[in-house]
Amino acid sequence: MNSKRGQVTIFVIIAIVIIAGVVLVFSLNKGSFFNSKNKDVQDVQDHVDVCLEKSLKSALFSNSIQGGYFDTPLDSVHYQSREYNLDQIIPYYLENGVDKAINRENLEVELNKAVKNNINDCLNFSQFNSEVNYSSENFIFDSSIADDSVEISAIMPLYIARNGSTSFLKDFKTLVPTLYGDYYRLALSMNEEQKNYPDSVCLSCFDSLAQNYSMEVFTNEITESSSQVNIYYLISNQSKNDPVKFYSFAHKFNLEKK
């Protein structure tokens, strides 16, 4: 009788060990699957974060050399800069006394346009094991410009498929340290200052304003038969890592009035 009980006990122990082993193996495999799935999603997330930051930096550079515009106004001045080896289209911030400077809301809208234009240049998922489906036409960008940084929020619906399972990512955000906002503020201050001198240009006044932002103002003049165009370049040496290398805009004066 004791022998039979001992055999039963051994069988019970063996059964428990087998069941425990099966549960353990299943748990480990299940955990491995979810970890793999989460890694796929995280890899895509990281890739998009880097791409969004890169796109914003590129947008800051390109828009800053066009007075904050992605789509420049039709009546902008075309100028080939020898100093910077650039073929530029530069908007008028002041034309014959009329203020034409871009407002802050449109400054952010133009930045959103540039980021949307740039994003496809680096949004490449071919190196991933997962299949990533999206339509960049449905992407929405919302930038916010501070004095020393620009933050952009993006709604970018991405569907990540692997092994019959699909994950979804949508919300992204990045912040880039930059003096883009300060450049813009200085440009507006120069506009207001110029309005006080309808028949002349006070370059020393601009230099004083620029010192308040630890910046410098460089001027190029284009004289035509009846008008003069001053192209201004605002430059700061505060941060070499700033994607904005300079900020340019123009003032136009009617010489016939003088």
Domain that holds residue 77: 34-257
Give me the phi and psi of 243, to 5 degrees please: -65, -20
Q: Which residue has the higher pLDDT, 41 or 143?
A: 143
pLDDT digit string, tens, across residues 165-205: 889 999 999 999 999 999 999 999 999 999 998 888 888 99
Contacts of 232 (CB under 8 A, 6+ apart): 187, 190, 206, 217, 218, 219, 248, 249, 250, 251
Question: What is the pLDDT, as a whole number, of residue 31?
Answer: 35
pLDDT digit string, tens, across residues 75-87: 999 888 777 777 8
Question: Is 23 within a domain?
Answer: no
Q: Measured between alpha carbons, how far is 44 from 38 in angstroms, rounded to an integer? A: 10
Indicate if the pLDDT at residue 209 is higher than 70.
yes
Question: What is the pLDDT, as a whole number, of residue 18?
Answer: 64
pLDDT digit string, tens, across residues 80-137: 877 777 788 999 999 998 999 999 999 999 999 999 999 999 999 988 888 999 999 9
Question: What is the pLDDT, as a whole number, of residue 183?
Answer: 97
Q: Measured between alpha carbons, how far is 226 from 228 in angstroms, rounded to an integer? A: 7
Question: Is 91 within a domain?
Answer: yes
Q: What radius of gyration do the chain's Cα atoms show?
A: 30
The first and second tokens of residue 103, run together, are 């407002």
Question: Is 13 within a domain?
Answer: no
Give me the mean pLDDT over the 234-256 stretch: 89
Is residue 170 within 8 A of residue 177, CB to CB? The reply is no
Which residues in the chain belong to E strands, given as ranges? 77-81, 86-90, 92-95, 98-99, 131-133, 140-145, 149-162, 165-177, 215-223, 227-236, 247-254
Question: What is the pLDDT, as a whole number, of residue 10?
Answer: 64
Question: Is 83 within a domain?
Answer: yes
Question: Is 155 within a domain?
Answer: yes
Confidence of residue 223 (pLDDT cuts 50, 70, 90): confident
User: Cα separations (Å) of 167 from 27, 34, 161, 163?
Assistant: 21, 12, 6, 11
Confidence of residue 68 (pLDDT cuts 50, 70, 90): very high
Closest alpha carbon to 250 in 65, 92, 82, 86: 92
Question: What is the pLDDT, as a whole number, of residue 226?
Answer: 81
Q: Measured between alpha carbons, how far is 49 from 119 in angstroms, rounded to an integer? A: 11
Question: Is 130 within a domain?
Answer: yes
Question: What is the pLDDT, as a whole number, of residue 28?
Answer: 40
Indicate if the pLDDT at residue 26 is higher than 80.
no
pLDDT digit string, tens, across residues 141-167: 999 999 899 999 999 999 999 888 889
Q: What angle in degrees, to the nearest 10, is found between the helix axes of 180-194 and 203-211? A: 150
Is residue 210 within 8 A of residue 247, CB to CB? The reply is no
Question: What is the pLDDT, as a whole number, of residue 5?
Answer: 53
Q: Measured between alpha carbons, how far is 75 from 95 in angstroms, rounded to an integer? A: 10
Question: Is 189 within a domain?
Answer: yes
What is the domain count for the chain? Answer: 1
pLDDT digit string, tens, across residues 230-239: 999 999 988 7
| Tally of CA atoms within 13 A in the half-sphere of 158 that contains its CB | 23
